[in-house]
Structure 1
Amino acid sequence: MKHLLPLAVMALIAAVAAPAKAPHLSPKAQRGFTFAQAHCAVCHAVGRDAQQSPEPGAPPFELIANKRGVTRTTLTVFLRDAHNYPEAMQFKLDRRAIDGLVSYMLTLRRPGYHPPI
């Protein structure tokens, strides 16, 4: 019994320290989710069913993904063109990061989506 307690504590620490995984994502979309948590979540709500972003002027990813006219191509072009970003977002994304981020954001699409009020 004495030996089980340290193992349980180590398992708990490992579970808490492990990067969060969104359920049922392709490896590419998981890479995008991980990137979003690390780099975008300071301003944007990046998860599903998020009501409000930490930064009020930053739309939740789910809202962006469900806007009329948003496609893989439009998201890719937006993220590739640093001149489209608001001033606070002056950083460049490489092609792999963009591909993962777009793949993840498209998993947030839902038929009949209604933005939070």
Structure 2
Amino acid sequence: MRRPAFCALLMTLSLAAPTFAASTPEQRGRVYAKTHCARCHAISRTGESPFKPAPPFRTLHLHYPIETLGEALAEGIVTGHPAMPQFELTPPEINDLLSYLKSLE
């Protein structure tokens, strides 16, 4: 009697859980950008950056070839202003973020 109830609970939870494994690199990159970058950068196709000196993500390809940003993201980007923290991304995070940036071109 307990087994069917337990199976039903597991089924319900599995359907309600987010499916990150099935999401695309672009979707994961957008989530990363929203979580870690949107406080300063405009991360969408429209809108202004909340922090004016921070370039909108949709314009990054005009200044840097997106493919070349992978190494900088892996080593940690250091900027000339204190508002942007130094950070390093894992290889999967780099792939996801670059995929998202390419989708904005």
Cross-structure match for 1:43: 40
Q: How does 1:12-31 map to 2 (within 5 A)?
A: 27-31=24-28
RMSD of equivalent CA atoms: 2.0
User: In the alignment, is residue 79 of structure 1 matched against residue 73 of structure 2?
Assistant: yes
Over alpha carbons, which structure has the higher Rg?
2
Offset at 1:90? 1.2
The one-letter code sitting in structure 1 at the alignment partner of 2:94 is I
* Rounded Cα–Cα distance in structure 1 between residues aligned with 2:46 and 2:59: 10
When residues 30 and 90 of structure 1 are mapped into structure 2, their CA distance, relative to the original with a 3 A threshold, is same
1:39-93 deviation per Cα after TM superposition (whole angstroms, max 9, x unaligned): 100110000122x21111110000103x155132x121221221x4224221221
Q: Which stretches in structure 2 are left out of the alignment for 5+ residues? A: 1-17
Q: How does 1:1-117 map to 2 (within 5 A)?
A: 27-50=24-47, 52-65=48-61, 67=62, 70-72=65-67, 74-82=68-76, 84-86=77-79, 87=82, 88-109=84-105
Runs of 4+, deviation exceeding 2 Å: none
Q: Tell me the TM-score normalised to structure 1 length.
A: 0.62
* Rounded Cα–Cα distance in structure 2 between residues aligned with 1:55 and 1:41: 9
* Rounded Cα–Cα distance in structure 1 between residues aligned with 2:78 and 2:101: 17
Q: How many residues end up aligned between the 2 structures?
A: 81
